[in-house]
Amino acid sequence: MTSPDLRLLAPAVAVWVVAAVALHLPPPVVLTAAAAAVLAATALARRGSAAVVVGVLVCSAAGGLAAASRVHARTTGVVHDAAAARAAVTVDGVVLDDPRVLAPRPGGGALVVRDVVVVRLRVESLTTAGRAYRVRAPVLVLTSDRAWLRLLPSQPVRAEGLLRAAEPGGDVAAVLSPRGQVRSIGPPSRVQRVAATVRQGLRRAVARLPPAERGLLPGLVVGDVSALPPSLQDDFRTVGLTHLTAVSGTNCAIVLGAVLLLCGWLGVPLRARPAIALLALGGFVVLARPSPSVLRAAVMGTVALLALTTGRSRSTLPALSAAVIVLVLVSPDLAMTAGFALSVLATAGIVILAPGWRDLWSRRMPAGLAGALAIPAAAQVACGPVVVALSSQLGLLSVPANLLAVPVVAPATVLGLAAALIAPVSDTAATGLAWVAWLPTTWLVHVAEIGAKMPGAALPWRGGAAGAVLLVLATGAGAVVVRAPRVRRLCAAGTAGVLTAVAVLWLVAPSWPPPGWFLVACDVGQGDGLVLNAGPHAGVVIDTGPDPRAMDRCLRRLHVDRVPLVVLTHLHADHVEGLPGVLRGRRVGQIQLGPLDEPVVERARVTRWAAAAHVEIVDAVVGEERTAGVARWQVLAPDYAHRGTNSDPNNSSLVFRLTAAGGQTVLLTGDVEKEAQQALLDLGVPLRADVLKVPHHGSSHQLPEFLRAVRPSITLTSVGDGNPFGHPARSTLGELMREGARSYRTDRDGDIALIDAAGRLRAAASRGSGAVAASRLDSRLERIPGTILTARASSLSRLPVNWCEPAAGSTVGR
């Protein structure tokens, strides 16, 4: 095997590193350094010094100049000055990429309660304070107006709003917050209109596929993940298949390979094939949108295909290095993007490592299998340090998952692309192709879902630069071990022993959920999300937390795919924003609400989600009783909406009294505060309970008299780790401890299950202290009563999905 040509490697690394650093330095400093580099290169060239050294200096200067010019354009001029003054402006610009929606996500204890539409706009005209200016600057638009979603790339628009400064080091000059309606002042280009028609045709073609495949296939073909379930995105990330859900070098290589193969079948002359393949790649880039990331993927895919088809790593490494130099000089911002780093490193692994590994492994296995193993292994080794630096976890299933995915990625992509191209002509034919593509696509879904559930799919690892260096050292040590036969055998024996021990521990460890569970408080962050056992694979959900993904993961851990009822105690975001995670991919019967339709924004969102899922919304009625599985519950309050209190939504929370089959009682209180707690005391409703779901995440807004009236033996506090609100309050915890209650918290214990063990109340947690482990052991020793309870619960599976059986004589809400 010939050694690779490394002459362009050092210049490529130099231009990349210098551009990344220069993006964070003042332009005068960078210009001075670039001038010094050019002078040094000139002097060395006159002396006949090594061309590589001269090339490094020249490329460093070029990378610095490109980055400095980009920084100068964004930090000076009219747009920058208007943003610094937070000026009201009117802008004319061109949409650069597809508008996208950022769904509300918890972060730092704060919640965004509206979808945010994000649009990249190239501003070409700006009017402020009565004066108009001709400019050319990228601006980021952040708005809640969904009318922006109808815009296409290349479409000229006019908008009014406030400019504000962008984050330092970002790739835009300012951020625009629009006021009023966006106006289209011209059509998008003909090419973009055709591309939009094809993309829309693909969406129509997959419309009747199951939800997971319906969201994944457009992602495989053109990087459209707008309909991909967040939980499936998490699974793909866990098993190292994220590159399949975005336009990557893999997509581009598949398109090129398919076109070249077709040319061979049709007998196209060899000289014409490269031109046809590049033309097809250009069309694919337009279809997937020619953003910097897609253009980067096209270049890397071409290089990777060249390496795999020719096997000439000596010639493909210079091609990769030249591609890096050109891409960074054209778009210096790529130097700071993780996607660019991962793409380059993956391609480098395929170019440098994969051919040698393929040849070596083919001595002991079929050549096809050796090649299929070598590609993901080489990419994983090359990308591993960056991945752990970003995610603080080490994926152990990336290579096997990619190996299982390899045979079906190309068929799914080609069939999906064919469906997209034929849809404008025949929806029927496109739908047929989409159903054919369903088979390989569902295989990918199962690989991701099953792999993500396996123990050790992703191990915690130190993040940042330290974690990256640690993984490099570990990989180097592994390479040394592989080369020493005696050490290799010793390590193999030790690894086999460790794996055997892990397998035994996994088999004997307590299962989750524990047998006999009747209620689980999910770890959903700073919010409430509870699940009541409603029979095999069924659960009643009481609040959904702030994050759809966290709520969906909890339900999946409980193996719940039928939800007869969702109860939203009140409409604050930390109790309702996880609703899409419940609705997605599950049969849901009804959504039950309390008496207060505030906040109005959240009520509108819940209504929209319910309508999209064809789920009925009903009102809770005080005194109403229902049963589900092994438990029954009664609505205690409120029969009116609180007004003029410290927090009307909190105090208007629905309050339930739950009774398990063994007679254990649980008081579910939503976020009621002092005013509502006093109202409950005044009503004289039965508050005594074995378990208290602590109101309002354990905040200080509690009445000691209320807590004493409940006198629980166990308390459940749904609270986010490190939340900025100080929940739970020390005063609340102190009062509960004085009552002798044992405290469980989702921030420390994870998911918390209440168990009916032959009439005895037990609690178990998915993580936590030794007391929690003891509770898990108790639950294992009570398997027979748990089996009896499960048998009783199975009768619910015969009920219609949209109904929880009302108790005799009860009043059922609308």
Give the whole-angstrom CA distance, residue 20 versus residue 24. Answer: 7
pLDDT range class, residue 351, cuts 50, 70, 90: confident
The pLDDT score that the predictor gives to residue 174 is 92
As a whole number, the mean pLDDT across the chain is 82
Interior/surface letters 36-67, b for 16+ CB within 10 angstroms, e for the rest: ebbebbeeeeeeeeeeeebbbbbbbbbbbbbb
Task: Name the more confident of 377 and 813.
Answer: 377
Residue 710 has pLDDT above 60, yes or no: yes
Highest mean pLDDT among 105-109, 366-370, 497-501, 805-809: 366-370
Model pLDDT, residue 366? 83
pLDDT at 419: 92
Please report which confidence band the pLDDT of residue 793 belongs to, taking 50, 70 and 90 as the band edges. very low
Please state, in angstroms and rounded to a whole number, the distance separating the CA atoms of residues 615 and 607. 9
* Stretch (H or E) spanning 678: helix 674-683
Q: What is the pTM of this model?
A: 0.67
- Given a contact cutoff of 8 angstroms between Cβ atoms, the answer to whether 550 and 578 are in contact is yes
Residue 784's SS3 state is helix
Mean local confidence (pLDDT), 57-82: 90
Least confident interval from 189-198, 206-215, 456-465, 652-661: 456-465
What does the pLDDT average to over 465-490? 75
pLDDT of residue 671: 95
- For residues 320 and 8, is the Cβ–Cβ distance under 8 A? no
pLDDT confidence band for 509 (50 / 70 / 90): low
Distance CA 547, CA 543 (A): 11
Q: What is the mean pLDDT of residues 362-366?
A: 83
Which amino acid type is present at position 721? D
Residue 292's pLDDT is what? 67
SS3 annotation, 356-408: HHHHHHCCCCCHHHHHHHHHHHHHHHHHHHHHHHHHCEEECCHHHHHHHHHHH
Lowest mean pLDDT, pick from 393-397, 408-412, 537-541, 731-735: 393-397
HEC per residue, 48-61: CCCHHHHHHHHHHH
pLDDT-derived band of residue 773, with 50, 70 and 90 as boundaries? very low
Instruction: Look at residue 805 in the predicted model and tell me its pLDDT.
Output: 33
**Which one-letter amino acid corresponds to residue 435?**
W
pLDDT in tens, 640-654: 999 999 999 999 999
* DSSP state letters, 701-721: ---HHHHHHH--SEEEE---T
Instruction: Indicate the range of 392-401, 434-443, 498-507 predicted with least confidence.
Output: 498-507
User: Is a pLDDT exceeding 90 seen at residue 347?
Assistant: no
Q: What is the DSSP string of 399-433?
A: HHHHHHHHHHHHHHHHHHHHHHHHTTT-HHHHHHH
Residues near 482 by beta carbon (within 8 Å), at least 6 away in sequence: 488
Per-residue confidence (pLDDT) for residue 312, from 0 to 100: 55
Each residue's pLDDT tens digit, 114-156: 568 899 999 999 999 889 999 999 999 999 888 998 999 899 9
Across 58-72, 209-223, 398-412, the highest mean pLDDT is recorded for 58-72
pLDDT > 70? residue 463: yes
Short-list 539, 551, 725, CA closest to 105:
551
Rounded to whole angstroms, how far apart are CA atoms 157 and 180? Answer: 13
pLDDT at 315: 67
Tell which wins on pLDDT, 706 or 224.
706
How, if at all, do strands 131-143 and 156-165 pair? Answer: unpaired
Quickly state the pLDDT bin for 456 (edges 50, 70, 90).
Answer: low
Q: What's the rounded mean pLDDT across residues 213-236?
A: 83
State how far the Cα of 377 lies from the Cα of 399, in Å rounded to an integer: 6
Task: Pick the range with the lowest mean pLDDT from 42-51, 710-719, 805-814.
Answer: 805-814
Q: What is the mean pLDDT of residues 330-343?
A: 84
pLDDT tens-place string over residues 665-695: 999 999 999 999 999 999 888 899 999 999 9
**∠ Cα 609 614 615 (to 5°):** 75
3-state helix, strand, coil in the chain (%, to 5): 55, 20, 30
- Please, is 582 exposed, middle or buried when counting C-beta atoms within 10 Å of its C-beta (0-12, 13-18, 19+)? buried
- Residue identified by tokens 């079929």 is 366
N-to-C CA span, the chain: 76
Residue 35 is inside which H or E element, if any?
helix 27-46
Q: What percent of the chain has pLDDT over 90?
A: 38
- Listing DSSP states for 152-171 in one string gives -TT-EEEEEEEEEEPPTT-S
DSSP 179-214: -S--EE-SPPPHHHHHHHHHHHHHHHHTTTS-HHHH
561-572: per-residue pLDDT in tens? 899 999 999 999
Give SS3 for 751.
coil
Alpha carbons 197 and 203: distance in angstroms, whole number: 10
Q: Which pLDDT value is given to residue 503?
A: 61
583 Cβ contact partners less than 8 Å away, ≥ 6 residues apart: 609, 610, 612, 613, 615
Q: pLDDT band at residue 385, thresholds of 50, 70 and 90?
A: confident
Residue 791 banded pLDDT, cuts 50, 70, 90: very low
The answer to whether 543 and 654 are in contact (CB under 8 A) is: no
| pLDDT of 520 above 90 | yes
In sequence order, the 6+-apart residues with CB closer than 8 A to the CB of 391 are: 237, 463
Q: What pLDDT score does 787 carry?
A: 30
Which residue has better confidence, 223 or 314? 223
Averaged pLDDT, 402-419? 86
Give CA–CA dist 400/384, Å, rounded.
15
Judge whether residue 448 has pLDDT over 80.
yes
Residue 206, pLDDT above cutoff 60: yes
- Picking from 571, 517, 562, the residue whose alpha carbon sits closest to that of residue 543 is 571
Q: Rounding to the nearest 10 degrees, give the CA dihedral for residues 706, 709, 714, 717.
A: -10
DSSP assignment of 539-605: EEEEEE-S-HHHHHHHHHHTT--EEEEEEESS--HHHHTTHHHHHTTSEEEEEEE-S---SHHHHHH
Query: Which residues are CB-neighbours of 627 under 8 A, at least 6 positions away?
Result: 633, 804, 805, 806, 807
Q: Count other C-beta atoms under 10 Å from residue 740's C-beta.
A: 9
CA–CA distances in Å: residue 660 to residues 58, 290, 519, 758, 759: 75, 58, 9, 11, 9
Say what the pLDDT of residue 297 is.
Answer: 72
Mean pLDDT is lowest, of 105-109, 178-182, 292-296, for 105-109
Distances from the Cα of 739 to the Cα of 318, 680, 706, 708, 731, angstroms: 73, 19, 12, 7, 13
pLDDT reported for residue 350: 77
Name the band, by pLDDT with cuts 50, 70 and 90, for residue 231. confident
Nearest by Cα to 113 from 542, 601, 594, 670? 601
**CA dihedral angle for residue 650, residue 651, residue 652, residue 657, rounded to 10 degrees:** 100
536 secondary structure, DSSP code: T
pLDDT band with cut points at 50, 70 and 90 for residue 545: very high
* Listed range (507-511, 512-516, 645-649) with the worst mean pLDDT: 507-511
Is residue 429 pLDDT above 90, yes or no?
A: yes
How many CB atoms within 10 Å of residue 348? 25
What CA–CA distance (Å, rounded) separates 656 from 632? 10
Q: State the greatest distance between any 2 C-alpha atoms of the chain, in Å, as a whole number.
A: 100
Confidence tier at 310 by pLDDT (50, 70, 90): low
Helix or strand holding residue 78 (H, E): helix 78-84
Q: What CA–CA distance (Å, rounded) separates 239 from 377?
A: 13
Are the beta carbons of 491 and 481 closer than 8 angstroms? yes
